[in-house]
Amino acid sequence: MKLTIIGTGYVGLVSGVCFAELGNTVVCVDKLETKVQQLQAGKSPIYEPGLEELLQKNIQSGNLSFTTDLKENIQDSDIIIIAVGTPQSEDGSADLTYVHQVAKEIGEALPTNSRFVIVNKSTVPVGTAQSVKTIILEQNADVDIAVCSVPEFLREGSAVYDTMNPDRIVIGSSSQWATDLLETIHFPLASGDKIVRTDEPSAEMIKYAANSFLATKISFINEMANISEHLGANIDDVVRGIGSDRRISLISSMPVLVTEVHVFQKMFVH
Ligand SMILES: NC(=O)c1ccc[n+]([C@@H]2O[C@H](COP(=O)([O-])OP(=O)(O)OC[C@H]3O[C@@H](n4cnc5c(N)ncnc54)[C@H](O)[C@@H]3O)[C@@H](O)[C@H]2O)c1
């Protein structure tokens, strides 16, 4: 399949490289010319284990390319993935300027009387798939589009491994044809129970709820560590004691916490 991925940050670049490695033809688009030139030369702007090797391998095989030109490359894509940043606004809300700008550019670039699956991988508030669809159709009313939500759960530092070995793939789509296409593209990574099929708002909510839950776990265990230190208790033993309770393990994946508590505390949640 041919994929166009817009935005070559952690999410877009790692997804692009991994989908290329799985045999797809991937074009990654970024508006930053110097970044695109660097990527075309096979140099990764970020360090992730295994990333640069796969980047160079897939450029050489012809599966992966980089450009600043969205319009030229989008036309014959099977799937278009939005992976631009959603920085925090001053009031704490997600700034959707980049996502909505990309939606406008997609709307301007799509050929009329065509059918496209557009996937949002950026972390966005509930309702964004709908607002992206509205913006695209405002630019071009004669396209048949499904705007789906497939949130990203990778961790910086193990991004390639996480992408190639996902715990689950959440597909938020209310169009069966789009769901089928997205299941096909993810098949080498996940199938059966590892695919969570749902609608777009639920997929967007899953990502926010997962981030909140992980943040809650980190805050909770940090508090327990502070109290333990104050009272002369051993936090590692406390964690082991909590995590071996099946009720806690079942609802909160506590084994992760047991084995990786120190890594977990440092983990950055996006
Ligand atoms: N970094 C993570 O670990 C992580 C994990 C899960 C989810 N996310 C989410 O994924 C999204 C992307 O995160 P990131 O860390 O990859 O972002 P990033 O800011 O590192 O990269 C975004 C890229 O998009 C490009 N861009 C912006 N507007 C563009 C446009 N109109 N056309 C082409 N390119 C454009 C920028 O130049 C930049 O290179 C965010 O919503 C983030 O919250 C990030």
7 lines ligand 1 (CB under 6 A): yes
Q: Is the pLDDT of residue 8 over 70?
A: yes
For a mutational test of ligand 1's pocket, the pick from 11, 28, 72, 208, i.e. the residue with the most ligand atoms closer than 8 A to its C-beta, is: 11
Q: What is the mean pLDDT of residues 49-55?
A: 98
Residue-level pLDDT at 46? 97
Q: What is the mean pLDDT of residues 95-122?
A: 95
| Alpha-carbon separation of residue 8 from 1, 48, 104, 124, 260 (angstroms) | 19, 14, 18, 17, 29
- Ligand 1 atom closest to 86 (CA): 41
Residue-level pLDDT at 126? 98
Average pLDDT value for the chain? 92
Q: Which residues contact residue 14 at a Cβ distance below 8 angstroms, ignoring those fewer than 6 apart?
A: 48, 51, 154, 159, 160, 163
Segment 117-139, tens digit of pLDDT: 999 999 999 999 999 999 999 99
Percent of the chain with pLDDT strictly greater than 90: 84
Q: Is the pLDDT of residue 159 over 80?
A: yes
What value, to the nearest 5°, has the Cα angle with vertex 72 and ends 171 and 114? Answer: 55
Q: What is the mean pLDDT of residues 237-258?
A: 68
Residue 265 or residue 202, greater confidence:
202
- Ligand 1 atom closest to 98 (CA): 28
Banded model confidence at residue 270, pLDDT cuts 50, 70, 90: low
Q: What is the mean pLDDT of residues 29-40?
A: 98
Residue nearest to atom 15 of ligand 1 (CA): 10
9 lines ligand 1 (CB under 6 A): yes
Residue-level pLDDT at 269? 52
84 lines ligand 1 (CB under 6 A): yes
Q: What is the mean pLDDT of residues 102-124?
A: 95
102 lines ligand 1 (CB under 6 A): yes
254 lines ligand 1 (CB under 6 A): no
Q: What is the mean pLDDT of residues 235-255?
A: 74
Phi/psi for 120 (5° steps) reads -100, 120
- Ligand 1 atom closest to 11 (CA): 16
Token pair 């990574």 is found at 189
User: Ligand 1: distance of its center to the CA of 149 in Å?
Assistant: 15
Q: What is the mean pLDDT of residues 247-254?
A: 55
User: Ligand 1: distance of its center to the CA of 16 in Å?
Assistant: 13
Q: What is the mean pLDDT of residues 26-35?
A: 98
For a mutational test of ligand 1's pocket, the pick from 6, 13, 30, i.e. the residue with the most ligand atoms closer than 8 A to its C-beta, is: 30
Q: Which CATH architecture has domain 2-198?
A: 3-Layer(aba) Sandwich (3.40)
Residue-level pLDDT at 255? 38
Segment 173-184, tens digit of pLDDT: 999 999 999 999
Q: What is the mean pLDDT of residues 70-92?
A: 94
- Ligand 1 atom closest to 68 (CA): 33
CA-closest candidate to residue 204, choices 148, 259, 159: 148
Residue 88 or residue 263, greater confidence:
88
Q: Is the pLDDT of residue 245 over 90?
A: no
Segment 232-244, tens digit of pLDDT: 999 999 999 998 8
Q: Is the pLDDT of residue 114 over 80?
A: yes
Count Cα atoms within 13 angstroms, Cβ side, for 131: 13
Residue-level pLDDT at 153? 97
Residue-level pLDDT at 267? 42
42 lines ligand 1 (CB under 6 A): no
The residues spanned by each domain of the chain are: 2-198, 209-266
Residue-level pLDDT at 250? 45
